Amino acid sequence: MKTTIYDVAEKAGVSISTVSKVMNDQQVGKKSKQKVLKVMQELNYRPSVLASALTGKRTSTIGLLLPDLANPFVAEMARRVEDRAHEFGFSLVICSTDLNPEKEERSVSLLRQKSVDGFILASAFNNRRVIADLVDDNVPVLLLSESHPQFAVNSINIDNIVGGYQVASHLVSLGHTRIAVIGEDATSSQQRINGYKQAFQESGLTVHEDLIAISDSSVEHAQRLTKELLNHPKKPTAIIACNDVLAIAAILAAREIGLDIPKDLSITGFDNTLLSKSCDPPLTTVEQGLDKMCAQAVDLLIEEIEGKSTSKQRILVLPQLVIRKSTAFCQD
Amino acid sequence: MKTTIYDVAEKAGVSISTVSKVMNDQQVGKKSKQKVLKVMQELNYRPSVLASALTGKRTSTIGLLLPDLANPFVAEMARRVEDRAHEFGFSLVICSTDLNPEKEERSVSLLRQKSVDGFILASAFNNRRVIADLVDDNVPVLLLSESHPQFAVNSINIDNIVGGYQVASHLVSLGHTRIAVIGEDATSSQQRINGYKQAFQESGLTVHEDLIAISDSSVEHAQRLTKELLNHPKKPTAIIACNDVLAIAAILAAREIGLDIPKDLSITGFDNTLLSKSCDPPLTTVEQGLDKMCAQAVDLLIEEIEGKSTSKQRILVLPQLVIRKSTAFCQD
DNA sequence: ATGAAAGCGCTAACAG
DNA sequence: CTGTTAGCGCTTTCAT
């Protein structure tokens, strides 16, 4: 049998409430405290989080929902969130949603049954009704690298518009005018695309909507889309990918067609993952201050969970262009 | 207030035990059942997993311990484990341990307090005492891509020795005789190294222990070690990295020294991650049937959790060499 | 087929 | 400072 608070109490010759009090750092006589502590050691006692949570305490567990844990960028985020959460004694239940609204709903519902203390919706979360329910029910929620301005929830984000603007401007300054975009069905991609459009307009260039493609998250689909884009009558000389994984898919596709990068085609990524450094050629991409973002996210959420802060914040972090070898002057 | 079993019972005009019975698919009169089901809908009732677990039922949660979620290969595993677990209605609490025995212990201890139903120790887990405790206390444990033969636990693994043997043989067949190895402090690396030694012995080559380096998991350290290896008097013409991340670190380091890969130096990876396809040059590496491994792992663990199977298995999966562009004939 | 009641391990008044 | 007791929400005998 697992050892319970009763076992400890009995062996220490005190009542269970005394034991409970030493666990919760409440006023207890020195002698009793020593004794209890000692017995807890001896019995290798581990208080049940279940039982204590049932009485209204926290489970010290956060639900982390993200599109796909297998995506290296997402995994990097998860790891950083995890580290910070651990510092506060919280653990993470992680669910990949594949951007699928039903999965999103199921996961949240399941985690609520398991009484997680709060949620971090990271990178992209589509099902707004689910967010609305969470907000209605006063469940702490934080949006990380995702934004839904209609909800009054804590959120922390890079300025994707600026990021999209930065890559587009960079390409334009290299002489490119026919620039395709490949993104995902997510707010962040949408915003990056908006930044791109802004840059185009400022430079007096026309945006061609049919040079903008939206991929599901599979590498295969992205490659197919890339090939289609490259076969477009207004053959683009550059492709902006809305994340590094897409960029790499684009590189592979372009190479299959026999294109040299960056000579024949410039490609940019987004996120500055490990991938972008090690691929061939190394990617021009956009760096976000992931580390701080994730740490802040956890801090904010835990503050809300512990009721230490009642006001919500929306934090915007500015991104930074990292120029590597995948972009070059337009040869056209 | 959250709606409880009492609310449902009251509104349905039955007792809580009847409600409980319909939730657990026990014998209940048709009429009552219909009524209860309807009320549950109306009230949007979600039974508390905490409460039910407190009475001895499962939490339907698995603890997944791994060295580093930010490692793409590990993340890929996690994702596959997650998918399979979800199929059974289980969720995953994920903890990165950084191969640090104290973290390993803390994480396991924390998760036990949270009453996870079982553990998957994936990729590498060093603290044997922790495993021993788990086994002693009859907590379901499964070793995935890691082995500790001294424990009678379910495990599923690729045959690392064969994998190491395969890359080494490949390099030997290309004429290399001075082959360095860079691994991590993990069983899998150790076994891969053993395979390498075996291949050497069979070819009548001598193994030089000082050409074998063990890196902590940081990219920086791996790079430093690579440079040291390359400065060795018996300058190696090939490097076997025990995983793709290490291989990429080695590539970067070699390139800094001005070496061309694979002309001056052949490098092999291990795991066949996305990284290995997209890096420059694409890596010769070893593929494991990750998908099936992870699914089987979950199946096995859940069987044990549900007490459906009492016997333990040790499954070995055979790896497969994938030859790409990072290896070439020895020029020496 | 249904309900009353005990109990899972812990917390939180409330008394003493 | 310490112990008694009543729950938290659910499962499970055991009666009815």
Q: What is the domain extent for residue A30?
A: 1-47
pLDDT per residue as tens digits for the range A16-41:
999 999 999 998 889 889 999 999 99
pLDDT confidence tier of residue A332, bands split at 50, 70 and 90? confident
Task: Report yes or no on B249 lying in a domain.
Answer: yes
Confidence check: pLDDT of A218 > 80: no
Look-up: residue for tokens 């801090």? A299
pLDDT per residue as tens digits for the range A138-177:
999 999 999 899 999 999 999 999 999 999 999 999 999 9
Q: What is the pLDDT of residue B133?
A: 95
CATH number of the domain to which A166 belongs: 3.40.50.2300
Structure tokens at A115: 């009484």
Taking the C-alpha atoms of B282, B283, B286 and B290 in order, what is their torsion angle to the nearest 10 degrees?
-50
Alpha carbon B270 to its chain's center: 14
**% chain A with pLDDT above 90:** 81
Q: CA A16 – C1' D5 distance (Å)?
A: 12
Q: Please check whether strand C approaches the CB of B27 to within 7 Å.
A: yes
Q: What is the pLDDT of residue A6?
A: 94
Q: What is the pLDDT of residue A10?
A: 92
Distance CA B275, CA B253 (A): 17
CB within 8 Å: A248 and B278:
yes
Q: What is the pLDDT of residue A130?
A: 97
Confidence check: pLDDT of A2 > 90: no
Task: Report yes or no on B83 lying in a domain.
Answer: no
Q: Which residues pair with A143 in a beta bridge?
A: A121, A155
Q: Hey, of A69, A137, A139, A245, which one would you mutate to test binding to chain B, going by the most B CBs within 10 A of its CB?
A: A69
Q: CA B54 – C1' C11 distance (Å)?
A: 15
Q: Which residues pair with A63 in a beta bridge?
A: A93, A119
CATH number of the domain to which A3 belongs: 1.10.260.40
Task: Compute the residue count for chain B.
Answer: 332
Q: What is the pLDDT of residue A280?
A: 77
Q: Residues 135 to 194 of B: which have CB under 8 A from any A CB?
A: none
Task: Report yes or no on B112 lying in a domain.
Answer: no
pLDDT confidence tier of residue B278, bands split at 50, 70 and 90? confident
Structure tokens at A103: 């999965």
Task: Report yes or no on B14 lying in a domain.
Answer: yes
Q: What is the pLDDT of residue A62?
A: 98
**% chain B with pLDDT above 90:** 82
Which helix (H) or strand (E) element contains residue B250? helix B244-256
Which tops the pLDDT comparison, B117 or B2? B117
φ, ψ (nearest 5 deg) of residue A84: -65, -40
Structure tokens at A328: 């070059």
Q: How far is CA A28 from CA A23, A36, A150, A170, A255, in A?
A: 10, 10, 49, 66, 71
Structure tokens at A147: 């934004």
Question: Residues 44-73 of chain A: which lie with beta carbon within 7 Å of strand D?
Answer: 51, 54-56
What is the reported pTM?
A: 0.85
Q: What is the mean pLDDT of chain A?
A: 93
Q: What is the DSSP letter of B263?
A: T
Nearest CA of chain B to the CA of A129: how many Å?
15
Confidence check: pLDDT of A219 > 80: no
Confidence check: pLDDT of B73 > 80: yes
Which residues from chain A sit within 8 angstroms of residue B290, using beta carbons? none
Where in chain B does DSSP place strands (E)?
61-66, 91-96, 118-122, 141-144, 154-158, 179-184, 212-215, 238-241, 266-268, 285-287, 314-317, 320-322
Look-up: residue for tokens 């009678």? B152
Q: What is the pLDDT of residue A186?
A: 84
Task: Report yes or no on B53 lying in a domain.
Answer: no
pLDDT per residue as tens digits for the range B57-70:
999 999 999 999 99
Would residue A169 be called left, alpha or beta, if left means φ above 0 and alpha means ψ between -120 and 50 degrees?
alpha
Distance CA A322, CA B31 (A): 67
Chain C nucleotides with an atom closer than 7 Å to a protein C-beta: 1-5, 7-13
CB within 8 Å: B70 and A70:
no
Q: CA A54 – C1' C13 distance (Å)?
A: 17
Q: What is the pLDDT of residue B52?
A: 96
In this prediction, residues A105-129 reach a mean pLDDT of 96
Where in B99-207 does DSSP place strands (E)?
118-122, 141-144, 154-158, 179-184
pLDDT per residue as tens digits for the range B25-59:
998 889 999 999 999 999 999 999 999 999 999 99
Distance CA A128, CA A150 (A): 9
Q: CA B131 – C1' D2 distance (Å)?
A: 39
In this prediction, residues A301-328 reach a mean pLDDT of 93
Task: Report yes or no on B139 lying in a domain.
Answer: no
Q: Which residues pair with B321 in a beta bridge?
A: B286
Task: Report yes or no on B185 lying in a domain.
Answer: yes
Q: What is the pLDDT of residue A256?
A: 84
CB within 8 Å: B69 and A47:
no
pLDDT per residue as tens digits for the range A317-329:
999 999 999 999 9
Task: Report yes or no on B21 lying in a domain.
Answer: yes
Would residue B19 be called left, alpha or beta, if left means φ above 0 and alpha means ψ between -120 and 50 degrees?
alpha
Distance CA A62, CA A95 (A): 11
Q: What is the DSSP letter of B151?
A: S
Quick count: other Cβ atoms within 10 Å of Cβ A210?
11
Number of domains comprising chain A: 2
pLDDT per residue as tens digits for the range B169-218:
999 999 999 999 999 988 889 999 999 999 999 999 999 999 999 998 67
Please tell me if residue A48 touches chain B, with a CB cutoff of 8 Å. Answer: yes
pLDDT per residue as tens digits for the range B147-156:
899 999 999 9
